[in-house]
Structure 1
Amino acid sequence: MTDPALTLVMVPPLSDETRTWPGRLTEAVPRIDVVCPEGSADIASALTGADAAYGTLTPELLRSAGRLRWLQAPQAGPPPGFYHPDLVRHPVQVTNMRDTYTDHVAAHTMALVLALARQLPRYVRDQAHAVWEPDWSDGAVVPLGEARALIVGTGAVGAETGRLLAAFGTRVEGVDPRVTTAPPGFERVLPPDHLDRALEQADIVVLTVPHTPHTEGLMDARRLRLMKDGACLVNVGRGPTVRLDDLVGALETGRLRGVALDVMEREPLPPDHPLWRHPGALITPHVAGAGPHAAERRFEVLVENARRFAAGQPLLNVVDKTQWF
């Protein structure tokens, strides 16, 4: 006697890149019946008998999902509100899409670091006005071979960023609540209670941490004051980890050499925000993960977890719901 099929609901809306996933998932994992509801009433009805789901579940939808045992989040770090209190209390196991953009984000991070280290934001502004003013002073660049970098968050992206920085001769340390063994290129990884002291020593601080109850507002006015004079701050993790008003204040004092942000506390960054025009700021619009194969990598995570779920095996990328990652 064969085991009964399991039902997975693809919660709309589906993007153009995910519209082919239901058919491909059914073909790859025959024991999974994939349901694609459309209207809100259809979603609630489908979730009533669902064993698993892909997407975002509001508290109202979650109440319909009495049998739900697995929820696949569509992103590595879902937006605020995804891990609402009802979901945290629910026994459903949540998995995310971490480690699907590692190479892209690490490469973008290095681009931001190098841009700040070599004064590229200033020279790009000069180019826009046809200004030729080379800076040959000793302080014109951050010599990476003599610099210390602090990677706050040494998961997949942080570890790869540290490895790349080490290749330039940079001394790399990390801070992480879970990782205790130093990844390749790192001198050591410290627990979070060492962050304040580590900030005082770093020439380059890179944030790759997710948005969690503990990282919201991590870099506020107090911690920004702890940073070394002339240091650079790069954030490719999540916007709410850096208080933008405090960051503007830190830039106005001239203590920081520069900041490079791919993620903002408010997205999109309002057109009148001073960071757009500040000469010490480099802004990219949340594109660090851009690159080929991202959608296919996410689909591979979904398929592998569907196979494991159907076989009763441990899932990949399981989230601690109380910590949001």
Structure 2
Amino acid sequence: MTLLVMVPPQRESTAGWAERLMAEVPGLTVARPSAEDAAWALREADAAYGVLPVESLAATTRLRWFQAQQAGPPPGFYYPELVAHPVVVTNMRDTYTDHVATHTLSLVLALCRGLPRYIRDQQTASWNPDWDPEAIVSLSEATALVVGVGALGTEIGRLLAAFGTRVTGIDVRPSARPGFADVLPVEALDEQLPLADLVILTVPHTPDTEGMIDARRLKLLKASAYFVNVGRGPTVQLDALDAALAAGQLRGAALDVFETEPLPDDHPLWRRPEVLITPHVAGVGPHEAERRFAVLLDNARRFVAGDTLINVVDKSKWF
């Protein structure tokens, strides 16, 4: 028998998963131990699901597969001991691409149509229409730069292209994508930033992307550009972004993820009228738990059968 341990604590949405996995995958035993019994269970585990702290990894003796419960786990997930361990790590990428892409388009449309201003006016019952054509960004005449063209970036580009937007991508593995005029290597980022009316960041948090949007790169943006981050918070230096907005180096921003979460209530970005903030909710939507279960089930079947797993992570790069 193959033993998979669901490492505590587990989300309420995973209740019943152990029984379902065992019913669907002959030869698989699934344990859902308490926190007190986790180390004992992990000693015999062939596979694990959830978050595996360094002390829990040290308790294992035969672990060969570890399924992360997120597409982009939080900072510290890929610690040195895990990277060095022979265990194969898989993640949950592409389980809520449609939700995040829809949220991203909501942010883009709100910025381009000036909705943050009107939302503020609504709070004070102020009838204050702005008829200046320059107050609006026409997507049919705009250029968007999508930084990170995985499943999420590809879907965002496809949706933007439907509005007539010219979409360029930047990716570590550049290749043609539907809706994109071009997808370029990372080395082209600095030359592309000054050309974009919209810069949309979808990249995961990795050693290479941490702090990639800094004061130097923010100075490369058009003063009329909007910046959107729906990837991971540590990729953007928030104080540098606030300073750039204060200096008029860009037109505005929309953020769903932050360098520090929750965003401290005294951070000046909360009070910037040209900034739209949502509290890391872009992935919210129906069927999220079932989609994650489907990935776990598929990989459990493959693991027991000795087949190649899906969503395998390059641990040294964290994605």
Displacement of 1:278 in angstroms is 0.5
Partner of 1:264: 258
Displacement of 1:255 in angstroms is 2.4
Do residues 133 (structure 1) and 124 (structure 2) align?
no
Partner of 2:20: 24
Q: Root-mean-square deviation (CA), in Å?
A: 0.7
Displacement of 1:30 in angstroms is 1.9
Pick aligned residue for 2:171 from 165, 173, 176: 176
Partner of 1:246: 240
Do residues 65 (structure 1) and 60 (structure 2) align?
yes
Q: Deviations along 1:50-96, whole A, 9 cap, x unmatched?
A: 11000111111111112000000000001111100000000000000
1:6-85 to 2 correspondences below 5 Å = 6-40=2-36, 42-85=37-80
Partner of 2:106: 111
Do residues 142 (structure 1) and 148 (structure 2) align?
no
Paired amino acid for 2:50: G
Partner of 1:222: 216
Partner of 1:278: 272
For 1:77 and 1:206, the matched residues in 2 are separated by 17
Q: Deviations along 1:22-49, whole A, 9 cap, x unmatched?
A: 1111111121100111033x11111111
Partner of 2:298: 304
Among all aligned residue pairs of Structure 1 and Structure 2, give the percentage whose two residues are the same amino acid.
65
Displacement of 1:138 in angstroms is 2.4
Q: Deviations along 1:208-261, whole A, 9 cap, x unmatched?
A: 000000100010000000011210000000000110000000110122111000
Paired amino acid for 2:32: C
Partner of 2:182: 188
Paired amino acid for 2:169: G
Q: Deviations along 1:161-189, whole A, 9 cap, x unmatched?
A: 000000000000000002x2221100111
Paired amino acid for 1:243: Q
In structure 2, stretches of 5+ residues that fail to align are: none
Partner of 2:249: 255
SS at match of 1:256: coil
Do residues 206 (structure 1) and 200 (structure 2) align?
yes
SS at match of 1:186: coil
For 2:228 and 2:144, the matched residues in 1 are separated by 11
Paired amino acid for 1:27: A
Pick aligned residue for 1:293 from 277, 287, 308: 287
For 2:74 and 2:35, the matched residues in 1 are separated by 23
Pick aligned residue for 2:225 from 217, 231, 247: 231
Paired amino acid for 1:226: L
TM-score by length of 1: 0.97
Do residues 124 (structure 1) and 119 (structure 2) align?
yes
Q: Deviations along 1:107-138, whole A, 9 cap, x unmatched?
A: 00000000110110011001111111111112
1:161-172 to 2 correspondences below 5 Å = 161-172=156-167
For 1:36 and 1:128, the matched residues in 2 are separated by 48
SS at match of 1:174: strand
In structure 1, stretches of 5+ residues that fail to align are: none
1:89-100 to 2 correspondences below 5 Å = 89-100=84-95
Q: Deviations along 1:188-207, whole A, 9 cap, x unmatched?
A: 11100110001010000000
**Runs of 4+ that moved beyond 2 A:** none
For 2:21 and 2:303, the matched residues in 1 are separated by 13
SS at match of 1:38: coil
